[in-house]
Amino acid sequence: MVTSAFRLIPQYHARVWGGQRLQAADQPVGEAWIVFEDDVIADGPHAGRTLGALAAVEGQSLLGRRPLRRTGLRMPLLIKLLDCQDWLSVQVHPNDEQAIVLEGQGQFGKTEAWHILEAQPASEIIVGMAPGVSAEALARAVRGAADGSLPGRVGLLPLMHSVPAAAGDTFFIRAGTLHALGPGLLLYEVQQTSDITYRVWDWDRPAKAGRDLHVDKSLAVIDHALTGRAEPVRPEATPGVHALTACEYFELQKLDASGGALALHTRGESFHAVTALSGSVTVAGEGWSLALGLFETAFVPAAVAAYAVTGGQALCAFVP
């Protein structure tokens, strides 16, 4: 049984749209995978093992009863930080049933949520379709943007719904929602344990390996009725536990311990992933304590049960 929390070593991924805020590197870094089944455990008795390998052995004591029912011994969530210096591709993700049909058994869909950490004054995101867009009009625009017969900025962009994005905003993106992240954003993303992405349009960037368009699969999974859900922004100065968004796959809370220690409990139902939003967050339980730097994550196993967060602000994700 795993009886103490531990840190994970993130995996960093270069992206054409990335920047330098997550890691200084020759190539722009767009993503840090901070909770992922292949992340290596940084400290404690299980240091050097991957999270997935530990889950295969510890099962319920690590993951909790709810994840075990939903995804078995698989890590049920993938959590990332994204540094967006340019537009990400316009894209869409399948739901669970579509993922199996299109990608095979054992695949999961990708419903996700974004919590904006930093934004430029003009930052925006694309979330869903503009009202009244028919399937036929969308198909013409998508195929035209792909083959060059109808430029994406002319045919596709006017069909999409865009909204401003500011620090503190939370957006819920159901699988099937056409979406894109805009320049200037630094954000936290929690999603199902899937990285299936169907790229619809890549802003006319030169074609590169690994950035193919997925026209037919995209059109098969886009749900015209879906738009992103913007959650209320919680006051930054209010201490306590604030719900940001929730669905059947995950729940995301903001923890503000500036007014004193916050007592939390897994109840054995699900692990908690606590990511520091400041450099002075401590996560502690019976016989253990972790001091987290900015954007470091403490993985709190379900068997830990009671623990406390002190210091500054953090995000907490778990399976509801």
The span from the CA of 240 to the CA of 242, in Å, is 6
Closest alpha carbon to 215 in 130, 158, 149: 149
In the structure encoding, which two tokens stand for residue 122, read together?
A: 């003009």
- Is-catalytic flag, 199? yes
Of the candidates 167, 168, 162, 199, the one whose C-alpha atom is nearest the C-alpha of residue 182 is 162
- Which residues make Cβ contacts (< 8 Å) with residue 196, sequence separation at least 6? 93, 94, 99, 103, 107, 108, 109, 110
**How far apart, in whole angstroms, are the C-alpha atoms of residue 213 and residue 40?**
32
Task: Please identify which of the residues 65, 199, 234, 267 carries the catalytic annotation.
Answer: 199
81 Cβ contact partners less than 8 Å away, ≥ 6 residues apart = 10, 22, 31, 32, 34, 117, 186, 187, 188, 189, 295
Active-site amino acid positions: 199
